[in-house]
């Protein structure tokens, strides 16, 4: 698969701040009269253009942490800076804007809209907020970059799991976000498709300078990143 080097990433052009900074994040939730601590004083910094993985067993807090980093959930205490901007005290409409402009999300279950074609799924985020270019052309370009130029008009149920995940990655990339966050992106794929998707992520990262954060319980997936952060029982383990 070829990745076009002319894919411009806003990430590579920005100023000094880290792509992501999480500072003393905690998350506790009430559970049958008590409070359970899901995240315990998590701090981490991810540099622009880095590809990092967060590995930990099921229930260790990975998805909770990703939700907080993505501005979908709020921490009980602590702060999250995306591209140097503190998102923790933002209201819902400010957060929606940041998520649309600076963050791309990819999930285990692909989460494509079943009634839309591949191209229409990738276009969708471009109709929210302001983005340069014509949505259908930008979507086509991005699908070509992930090797699906021949699948523009297929609906999700006409695509393999690996192809659906590549559509989801194209949708995450199409707004040129500072940060792409992936929660178990290979969890629903067989070994060959998982390897294919990981190779594609590495190519996109080296050739576009986009920052990738992947959460996984699978050491093989985690080890394809440049840096591995281990989380055990809601805490970063050294």
Q: Tokens representing 14?
A: 């920005």
Kindly state whether residue 175 participates in binding Mg ion, applying the rule CB under 5 A: no
3-state SS, residue 111: coil
Q: At which residue do the structure tokens 């809209």 appear? A: 113
| Residue 128 interface partner, choices ligand ADP, Mg ion, none, CB cut-off 5-8 Å depending on type | none
Encoded one letter per residue, x for contact with ligand ADP by CB under 6 A and - for no contact, window 63-102 reads xx--------------------------------------
Q: Annotate 140-187 with DSSP letters as a single string.
A: HHHHHHTT-TT-TT--GGGS-HHHHHHHHHHHHHTT--SEEEEESTTT
CB of 213 to ligand ADP, least distance (A): 13
Sheet holding 85-86, edge to edge: 34-46, 20-31, 77-82, 85-86
Task: Closer to ligand ADP by CB, 62 or 171: give it.
Answer: 62
Kindly state whether residue 60 participates in binding Mg ion, applying the rule CB under 5 A: no
| Residue 186 interface partner, choices Mg ion, ligand ADP, none, CB cut-off 5-8 Å depending on type | none
Encoded one letter per residue, x for contact with ligand ADP by CB under 6 A and - for no contact, window 23-62 reads ------x-x------x-----------------x-xxxxx
Q: For residue 85, which of 182, 27, 13, 16 has the smallest C-alpha distance?
A: 16
| Residue 129 interface partner, choices Mg ion, ligand ADP, none, CB cut-off 5-8 Å depending on type | none
User: For the chain, where are the alpha helices, taking DSSP H only?
Assistant: 10-13, 62-69, 92-102, 118-123, 135-145, 161-173, 191-208, 219-222
Task: Closer to ligand ADP by CB, 31 or 192: give it.
Answer: 31
Kindly state whether residue 186 participates in binding Mg ion, applying the rule CB under 5 A: no
CA of 189: how far to CAs of 39, 63, 194, 224, in Å?
A: 28, 19, 5, 16
| Residue 191 interface partner, choices Mg ion, ligand ADP, none, CB cut-off 5-8 Å depending on type | none
Point out which residues bind ligand ADP (CB under 6 A).
29, 31, 38, 56, 58-64
């Amino acid at each position: 698969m070829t990745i076009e080097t002319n894919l411009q990433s806003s990430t590579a052009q920005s100023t000094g701040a880290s792509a992501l900074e999480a500072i003393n994040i905690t998350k506790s939730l009430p559970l049958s009269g008590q409070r359970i601590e899901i995240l315990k004083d998590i701090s981490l910094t991810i540099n622009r253009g880095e590809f990092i993985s967060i590995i930990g067993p099921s229930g260790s807090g990975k998805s909770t942490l990703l939700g907080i980093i993505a501005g979908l959930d709020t921490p009980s205490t602590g702060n999250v800076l995306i591209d140097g901007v503190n998102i923790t005290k933002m209201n819902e409409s400010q957060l929606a804007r940041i998520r649309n402009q600076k963050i791309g999300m990819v999930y285990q279950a692909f989460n494509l809209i079943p009634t839309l074609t591949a191209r229409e799924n990738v276009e969708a985020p471009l109709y929210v907020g302001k983005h340069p270019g014509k949505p259908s052309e930008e979507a086509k370009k991005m699908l070509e970059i992930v090797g699906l130029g021949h699948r523009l008009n297929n609906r999700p149920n006409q695509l393999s799991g690996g192809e659906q995940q590549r559509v989801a990655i194209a949708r995450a990339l199409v707004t040129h976000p500072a940060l792409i966050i992936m929660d178990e992106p290979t969890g629903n794929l067989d070994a060959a498709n998982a390897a294919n998707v990981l190779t594609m992520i590495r190519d996109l990262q080296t050739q576009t300078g986009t920052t990738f954060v992947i959460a996984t319980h699978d050491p093989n997936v985690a080890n394809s990143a440049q840096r591995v952060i281990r989380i055990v029982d809601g805490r970063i383990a050294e």
